[in-house]
Structure 1
Amino acid sequence: MKRIKRNKGELAVVVVCAVVGFLLAAQLRSVKLSGAADATNATRLETLQNLYNELNDQKEGLESQVKQLESELALYREQAASGETGSEALKTELEQLEITAGLTDVEGPGVSIILEDSSSVNVTGDEADYLIHDNDILSVINELRSAGAEAISLNGERILATSEVRCTGAVVTVNGRRYAAPYVIFAIGDPDTLYSALTMRNGVVDVLSQWGITVKVSTSDQLLIPKYNGTVEYRYAKPASTDEGEEEVG
């Protein structure tokens, strides 16, 4: 009987040791995994911090560039208004160039357009066909330009020749900023002409309405369109040489 009890005791000790060993191994593995996760998170955090710092530096650089350009523009304005010969013509030309380049706030009569996604509950076919896309907005903008719009904005963003309007997921990006519906477009020009161009039969408003997209067009005696809030950098385009004797290519 004593021999049997001793064997059972030894077996119990072995089982306890095995359990303790298993628990220690599991604990060590957990510590290693936790350490690896912490290291990964630390690396990711450092990467995100570096990206943030780079973007912040770029933002500060662009803001500095805007201030410098505004300072130069103010100097040109002073020179144009100094009373020198031809200053009035120079001032008028400068104002026109500012409007064309989107460097100044503008106001005047025109139309406002509000675009909203279709609210239809029962749709057939692709549901995306009932949502506003970049080509829908571009159709409206092109129609406005064709009708003589002198300045256009989309959700407060001044539309320039270099402005992009494109879908990025469920939103539209313009001038590097993302906007979701509804989309509000302001256009300065002859209100009646702009309104007629948009609402004519089989025109852009008529086509969009066929998909249930809500388009509200209204005329206004006074609209305010802000200036372009950014910078335009030309890295490749430069004034063409006018040297005599240089042959034209093309």
Structure 2
Amino acid sequence: MNKSKGRVEIAMICIIIGIMIVMQTKSINNLGGLVTTQRADQMLIELNQMKRENDRLQNNVITLENDISFFENEASSNNAVVEKMLRDVDAAKDQAGFTDLEGPGIIITLDYKDSDGYDPFQANSVLLLFLVNELNAAGAEAISINGERIINSSEIRLAGSHININGKKNSYPYTFNVIGNTSTLKSAVNMRDGILDIMESNYINVEVEESEKITVFKYNGTINFKYAKPIK
């Protein structure tokens, strides 16, 4: 009787333990399922955040690409502006006499070969200036006398036994290199009773030569403005 009762009690205990194991297993399964669902929700949230961040970065990429295109266009435009400015500067330097130039034109040589002590250039130094004026009026684009570039501030004046050109002493023969329309220049200086006729009447020997390639060197001095200032 006691043995049967003990067996029943053991059986009851085993049943209870079995029931407890089953319930514990179900609880663990349910807990595991709950954790998995929460993790999935969390991952979905993170995925949405990553998508939003990716969209933001894509928009930044588009913005940066647009900026790059803008700056490239601006750089190209600025290069064009800079190139134009440089061309303008070069043109201004050409006109001001600060670059060597080459082109067609005429070469005028003025000389005096008598040896009686008379120097027609000293007596009539202003004739050189008159010739420069005639050449400019005929459209000369560049003029040099004995290699001295004539610019708007050049002086041609008698200084003792010499003629100063750009502050440097010069004596005959005087060679004018003149770039411009050859026929126009030649016609201007050779006109009847013109400047060359006046020179010849003052015992100056004149020779005029046409050339397709004349070099006029740049002005080597400096120009300093002490009183004149640009108007803003």
TM-score range, shorter chain: 0.5 to 0.7
Q: How does 1:131-210 map to 2 (within 5 A)?
A: 133-210=124-201
Match of 2:92 in 1: 97
Decide whether the 8 Å contact of 1:111 with 1:194 is kept in 2: yes
Structure 1 counterpart of 2:65:
none
What residue in structure 2 maps to residue 110 of structure 1? 105
Range that drifts further, 112-121 or 187-196: 112-121
Preserved CA contact (<8 Å) 2:129 2:156? yes
Deviation at 1:128, TM superposition (A): 5.2
Shift of 1:117: 2.4
Q: CA–CA distance in 1 between the matches of 2:166 and 2:176?
A: 14
Cα contact 2:112–2:119 (8 A) shared by 1: no
Aligned partner letter, 1:119: D
- Kindly state the Cα deviation for residue 200 of structure 1 after the two structures are TM-superposed: 0.7
Q: Tell me if the contact between 1:133 and 1:172 (Cα under 8 Å) persists in the aligned partners.
A: no
Provide the C-alpha distance between the structure 1 equivalents of 2:212 and 2:152, rounded to a whole number of angstroms: 25
Residues 17-53 of structure 1, C-alpha deviations (whole Å, 9 max, x = no match)? xxxxxxxxxxxxxxxxxxxxxxxxxxxxxxxxxxxxx
Relative to structure 1, is the Cα distance of residues 167 and 227 closer, same or farther in structure 2, using a 3 angstrom cutoff?
same
Equivalence map 1:1-250=2 (5 Å): 84-117=79-112, 119=114, 127=118, 129=120, 133-241=124-232
Q: Distance in 2 between matches of 1:112 and 1:194?
A: 10
Question: Residues of 1 paired with 2:168 and 2:131: CA distance?
Answer: 19
Question: 5+ unaligned residues in a row in structure 1: which ranges?
Answer: 1-81, 242-250
Ranges in structure 2 where 5+ consecutive residues have no aligned partner: 1-76
CA shift at 1:83, angstroms? 7.3
Identical aligned residues as a percent? 38
RMSD: 2.4
Q: Is residue 108–residue 188 contact of structure 1 (8 Å, CA) maintained in 2?
A: yes
Q: Distance in 2 between matches of 1:237 and 1:148?
A: 28
Q: What is the rounded CA distance, in whole Å, between the counterparts of 2:154 and 2:81 in structure 1? A: 34
Q: 1:130 deviation in Å?
A: 7.0
Q: Calculate the TM-score normalised by the size of structure 1.
A: 0.58
Amino acid at match of 2:96: A
Provide TM-score, normalisation by structure 2.
Answer: 0.62
1:101-160 alpha-carbon deviations (Å, 9 max, x no partner)? 111111001111111126386xxxx94557564311101100000000011101001111
Alignment-derived partner of residue 34 in structure 1: none
Which AA in structure 1 matches 2:128? I
The DSSP-based 3-state class of the residue aligned with 1:86 is helix
Partners of 2:154 and 2:166 within 8 A in 1: yes
How far did residue 192 of structure 1 move? 0.6
Give the Cα separation in 1 of the matches to 2:105 and 2:78: 34
